[in-house]
Chains A and B, each alone.
Chain A
């Protein structure tokens, strides 16, 4: 048995033991997302525009993550709508960030990875990085949107401005820790490299790989920051009684 199969089996057992039926559904979501991400790479290599592939696969990833990990439809519906709105906004931010940072492709520290490869492959690495930037944020968007929708719907009509503010603050604080450490783990090897070779601060803040990784963190933080008010807005609009629908903001 390959190691990955072993790990996946162990996770399946753990998730069913802890989560029962819901654990099984979560594991299924992970499996579907795995297939989607592999298809994304294959389609991009197959000559499809990486940005369009990312948007289409992104829709499917959001749907899978939100609808398979929440049992309540009244939460999943608005969370999905809000995620789609945020995804559009984040795509614009990612395009600007990737273009101006010129971090696409591989940096000088990656030369070992490229050994023996033909690098003139005719697929735009800038577009691939936009795809990476967009898809990398979707987990965080889905998580934050579900959490906000569940929290606000639970409060129902009794929601006060202070209560809503507390929900927003808590959810953003939580997401920031997850994202910060999630990327920090990947940074550790790069930082040890930088320290051993005594890179200066000026070198680091202009280094292609470091800047590329850090703006990816910022994309995710921006995505979560946008998700919270947008989800709140979507849920509140749905809670409006039909008679007041003409009061569009």
Chain B
């Protein structure tokens, strides 16, 4: 054991340089994507120099002090037939930066043209996005090896299904929209299960338990909404929704918790199928595994859903709202989403353990 440890650590230190690959990938892709302007139809310019022309210090009704800066920007046009032309642009930003951002030398911006004048409409972000995606893939490849392709194939298949569903034009019809996305969720479950466990009887158990637990969890959540009469729950604050916020809220919960529920279910089911004991012992083994993983899994989703509310939360508090009001209005939906997802995660434990124990016994009899 001692010698194997020495070998492990020796190998580790000799191969330390491979951890430089993701960083190298990041730099190469980031630099490369600085030269893709000609693929765009919208005019793009690169900032060459920046001068501060005006600074003001506004104080709002809540005694918040900020700094607003106007920049005069010299830039060069990178595409369209006027490529190479020097432009003078203006940019105004605040130190807090709620709706604006400072420009710096080297940055690229999208422009809108009216006559001979150009105005800045957006910042170009494809380079950082592409660089981060590539670096992440290389990092994953270093750790999981060939298994990465399987994961990528699964994610691509799910994304294609989702894009397909988006193009079915029924968004105006609430009930149909909900049914469509429930069908998409079933599709996600089947696709992902097949990729994770393969086409075995085990897959039926995992997919079945996942769907059942999610459906039960969401129904329980809806039941509590109705029972408590939606008190202090502000579904109208669901983001980016123009109509039917409640249905989309449930769609978000179903899709959002699906991965966690599915992973938990496959962990439990795989372990149960490997055991060689009676149905009762198998059920109890499944429950023991589930108990260990459910807490951390709930924490994963909780942190994602709540951290996203920070910017709006600070904005509300700084605008003179009480803490209790901010928690209810801004963080409330995040809490509701975490809690209902948690129902699914907890319910999966007995459901998978039960189904897997039954299926394993049935399979045993078949032999």
Contacts and interface: CB of A to CB of B under 8 A. Distances in A.
Q: Do A and B bind each other?
A: yes
Interface of A: 1-8, 10-11, 14-15, 18-20, 22-23, 25-26, 29-30, 33-34, 37-38, 40-42, 44-45, 50, 61, 65, 68-70, 97, 100-106, 109-110, 113-114, 117-126, 128-129, 131-133, 135-140, 142-143, 146-147, 150, 157, 159, 161, 165, 168-169, 172-186, 188-193, 195-196, 202, 205-208, 211, 214-216, 218, 220-222, 225-226, 228-229, 233, 236-237, 239-241, 244, 247, 249
Given A33-B303, A124-B95, A4 B240 contact: no
A117 B301 CA distance: 29
Given A177-B260, A244-B6, 14 more contacts: A18-B290, A121-B62, A125-B97, A133-B307, A139-B301, A139-B303, A173-B147, A181-B262, A182-B304, A196-B171, A207-B125, A215-B128, A222-B139, A225-B140
Interface stretch (B70-78, B251-259, B357-365): B251-259
A61 B336 CA distance: 20
Given A1-B231, A6-B224, A186 B308 contact: yes
Interface stretch (B47-55, B275-283, B311-319): B311-319
Interface of B: 1-2, 4-6, 8-10, 12-13, 30, 39-42, 58, 60-62, 64-66, 68, 94-101, 107, 110, 122-129, 132-133, 135-136, 139-140, 143-145, 147, 150-151, 154-155, 158, 162, 166-167, 171, 181, 188, 192, 196, 220-221, 224-225, 227-233, 238-242, 248, 251-260, 262-263, 266-267, 287, 290-319, 323, 326-327, 331-332, 335-337, 339-340, 342-343, 346-347, 349-350
Contacts of A172: 140, 143-144
7 contacts: A18-B347, A126-B97, A175-B263, A179-B304, A181-B188, A205-B129, A244-B6
A120 B96 contact: yes
B210 to A, nearest CB: 11
B101 A139 contact: no
B147 A169 contact: yes
A182 B129 CA distance: 19
Interface of B is mostly: helix
Residue in A34, A50, A114, A139 whose Cβ sees the most chain B Cβ within 10 Å = A139
| Pairs A-B, 6 closest by C-beta atoms | A185-B256, A181-B259, A26-B295, A69-B295, A139-B303, A45-B317
Nearest to B103: A102
B155 A132 contact: no
Given A101-B128, A106-B98, A136-B304, A188 B144 contact: no
Contacts of B123: 102, 206, 208
Given A41-B317, A178-B263, A33 B147 contact: no
Contact of A7 (B224, B239, B292): B224
Looking at B162, B298, B301, B302, which has the most chain A CB atoms within 10 Å of its CB? B298
B156 to A, nearest CB: 11
The A interface, classified by DSSP as helix, strand, loop or mixed, is helix
B317 A18 contact: no
A175 B304 CA distance: 13
B65 to A, nearest CB: 5
B267 A174 contact: yes
Contact of B262 (A122, A177, A186): A177
Contacts of B342: 11, 30
B61 A179 contact: no
Contacts of A69: 292, 295-296, 299
